[in-house]
């Protein structure tokens, strides 16, 4: 009974967010997001434009948002992909818990796993922080939303921008306008390259976008 109640709450919240997104649009037209079908409101697709004046400029990136819970046993890491989770999905308790976000195809970025899953503070639940690199204010809470998460991800892709190129929607909130987290990154090789050879990192990103566009 509790599962039905939480799923109903999640559905109402998602319908409200979808209505707001479709009526107001996204800041600077940077993304679209919505359910993949009317029969499945717990699986969304987002299309995200690469931020201007960054290596991701010109790309349009598809991401899957999954609003279900998985029962995680000790052998599973909380950041494992959904294909690694053998237990069946449980009823959604969104917005008490965050959703999963996965780029397909994956993006080459320090905070995106090789399989496309996004590792960002705003999608981490409150609680213990074994790496000690996150502030509690940056993590998930029920006041967050699909829009706030996607804007945080776009800001993550953009990194720190000069004031002249700063996107109009970026605020002074700690989740925005930050360099990638290299201390607890998702893609270790990418973290090393970003830190040691930024020019080569940016070249690889640009080449991957050209490849996606068939150029």
Beta bridge partners of 214: none
Query: Is there a catalytic annotation at residue 119?
Result: yes
Marked catalytic residue, from 49, 85, 119, 191: 119
Q: Residues near 51 by Cβ (< 8 Å), separated by ≥ 6?
A: 30, 57, 154, 155, 157, 158, 161, 167
Q: Decide: residue 10, CB within 10 A, 0-12 exposed, 13-18 middle, 19+ buried.
A: buried
Is-contact 166 52, C-beta < 8 A?
A: no
Q: Which residue numbers are catalytic?
A: 119
């Amino acid at each position: 009974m509790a599962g039905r109640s939480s799923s109903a709450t999640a559905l109402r919240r998602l319908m409200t967010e979808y209505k707001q997104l479709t009526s107001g649009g996204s800041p600077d037209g940077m993304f679209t997001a919505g359910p993949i079908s009317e029969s499945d409101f717990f699986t969304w697709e987002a299309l995200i434009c690469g931020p201007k004046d960054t290596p991701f400029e010109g790309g349009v990136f598809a991401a899957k948002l999954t609003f279900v819970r998985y029962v995680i046993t000790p052998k599973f890491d909380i950041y494992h992909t959904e294909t690694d989770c053998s237990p069946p999905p449980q009823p959604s308790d969104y917005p008490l818990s965050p959703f999963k976000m996965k780029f397909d195809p994956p993006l080459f970025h320090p905070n995106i796993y090789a399989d496309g899953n996004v590792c960002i503070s705003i999608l981490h639940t409150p609680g213990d922080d074994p790496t000690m690199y996150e502030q509690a204010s940056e993590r998930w809470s029920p006041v967050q939303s699909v829009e706030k998460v996607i804007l945080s991800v776009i800001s993550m892709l953009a990194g720190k921008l000069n004031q002249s190129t700063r996107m109009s929607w970026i605020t002074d909130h700690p989740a925005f306008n930050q360099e990638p987290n290299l201390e607890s990154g998702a893609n270790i090789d990418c973290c090393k390259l970003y830190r040691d050879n930024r020019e080569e990192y940016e070249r690889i990103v640009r080449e991957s976008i050209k490849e996606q566009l068939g150029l």
